[in-house]
Structure 1
Amino acid sequence: MKLKTFLIALIAIFLSLEISEAQSLKVISYNIHHGADRNEVNTLQEMGEYIKNSGADLVGLQEVDSVCNRSGKVDQMKVLAEITGMHYAFLRHFEYDGGAYGLGVLSKHPITSQRNGTITSMKNGEKASLALLSTRIKLPNNKEVDFATVHFALDQSTRLIQAGETISFLESDLPVILTGDFNAEPGTEEIDMITGPFKMSDENLGNTFPVLNPVKKIDYIWVSREVLLKVSKVNIPLGIHSSDHLPLEAEISIKSK
């Protein structure tokens, strides 16, 4: 009986230590369609207000413009950071329309470094590259996490290459959170590849595209398998029509390393 009591107490101690080392985060993945809705009306202000009101800790953004003519020569990440009061990072895929087109990160917590990667793309039948943005975030418990975002190609043969490149690039001793528009539905080979090192935080598989009457799940939030302790809530806010995609939200608890 004493041994049983001792073992129960020991398990309770281990559980309490794990909980004390955990970090709860609200994460959003959002393809913002160059700051415009499905009718090409500028909605960047509404996007910023949605993110601010969501209480998100970390936001991965795809299809971001930086001083492009089509979006009014606005530095969209700077504007979103001003609206939300968050730190930000930007990485371009390529020059576009007088500016640049790429990926962005917003973080409630300090961004201590930015790592700029690339994944394979095909442009006019020739091999090119797209951006893969990874940021290191300092959390309130003084631990760090790598937070990344990516946007995969429309064709599966390229996505399979991109999946392997993404997994290799994000190898880390720290917890990794990966967001993005993967242009692939659950059960495809490329999604199964990512499911190796990462766990999908939104396993209810809610659809995110198109914004009205969505029929496809192509946006995801992934977390390193060995650090994900709990997914408290997953939400796809159906009333947010600022883009041609719906945003994806997940509240997670991760084990800090």
Structure 2
Amino acid sequence: MMASVLLIFPKLSKAQSSVNMNSTIRVLTFNILHGATTKGDFNLDVIADVIKRTNPDLVALQEVDFKTNRAKKYDLVTELAIRTQMIPLFGRTMFYDGGEYGEGILSKSTFIKSRLVKLPHLDNYEPRTALEITTIIGSNDTISFIGTHLDHVEGDTNRIMQAKEINRAFSSNKYPTILAGDLNDIQSSNTINILETFWTSAYNKNNYEYTFPSNKPNEKIDYIMFMPKDSWSVLETKAIKDTVASDHCAYFVILGLNK
């Protein structure tokens, strides 16, 4: 059954005049609940439909299974790439349930290079990673795109360590960079404040566009950020409320690369 989808449109920000259509990038981040859906019926078509509705250039996927038993031995990011006609990349965070579990990226453009950065965590907690690609967009500009999923436990010790490592690991990037993912913390938290010392968040601070839980969103934990600040303009932001595809709302942003 196809899920009903509600698009929540905040007020659009004013773009700088130096942005042209070739340098705009449509970015989506989506925690896909390992393909299970909130009905537990493992419907990848419903998840792909949410992605296709925004026609993204780049997608960061969290809770991505690779040939696990619970995912029926499917390679989820490749299955979604087939359904959305995009190019897939999977980054393993850990071995799990007869397969692997980690981050996924979908892209309309091929990759120049990729890397997987391990993030720190306390002993006996799940590992976390950040998956990065470098690609060339329609304006022939080179950019980097990072997808990540920070620790989910109640205390923020792991998330703070992970946020600091993200800042450190990507501070030397020579290309304009986008960071997207489920950061598992709310705006103005220690985690987000640490990230925002280096990254600029792409959301309207007068309308946070809550992303969790999808059936009744009341907090924002899914983000898209960018750096350097002056290299980007936020043209549009949108939370996508779908109560079946995942327990998270997908979060969508159109960015313009300033010339």
TM range (shorter): 0.7 to 0.9
Name structure 1 gaps, 5 residues minimum: 1-15
Aligned to 1:10: none
* Corresponding letter in the other structure for 1:29: T
CA distance in 2, matches of 1:32, 1:17: 36
CA distance in 2, matches of 1:216, 1:129: 24
User: Structure 1, residues 57-86: CA drift from partner, whole Å, max 9, x if none?
Assistant: 110000000000001100011111111111
Aligned to 2:4: none
Q: How does 1:156-195 map to 2 (within 5 A)?
A: 156-171=156-171, 172-195=173-196
Judge conservation of contact 1:21–1:255 (CA < 8 Å) in 2: no
Q: How does 1:226-237 map to 2 (within 5 A)?
A: 226-237=229-240
Name structure 2 gaps, 5 residues minimum: 1-15
CA distance in 1, matches of 2:246, 2:94: 21
TM-score normalized by the length of structure 2: 0.86
Give aligned pairs, total.
Answer: 240
2:200 counterpart SS class: strand
With a CA cutoff of 8 Å and minimum separation of 6, indicate the structure with the bigger relative contact order: 2
CA distance in 1, matches of 2:244, 2:251: 13
Judge conservation of contact 2:92–2:103 (CA < 8 Å) in 1: yes
Aligned to 2:150: 152
Q: How does 1:53-202 map to 2 (within 5 A)?
A: 53-124=53-124, 129-154=127-152, 155-171=155-171, 172-202=173-203
- In structure 2, relative to structure 1, the CA distance for the partners of 1:80 and 1:200 (3 Å cut) is same
Identify, as 1 or 2, the structure richer in helix.
1
Aligned to 1:5: none
2:191 counterpart SS class: helix
CA distance in 1, matches of 2:191, 2:258: 26
1:89 counterpart SS class: strand
CA distance in 2, matches of 1:101, 1:122: 19
CA distance in 2, matches of 1:163, 1:116: 15
* Corresponding letter in the other structure for 1:198: W
User: Structure 1, residues 209-233: CA drift from partner, whole Å, max 9, x if none?
Assistant: 1110111110000011434442221
Q: How does 1:199-210 map to 2 (within 5 A)?
A: 199-203=200-204, 204-210=207-213
User: Structure 1, residues 99-138: CA drift from partner, whole Å, max 9, x if none?
Assistant: 000000001111121111110123526xx73221011111
Q: CA RMSD in A?
A: 2.1
CA distance in 2, matches of 1:211, 1:50: 13
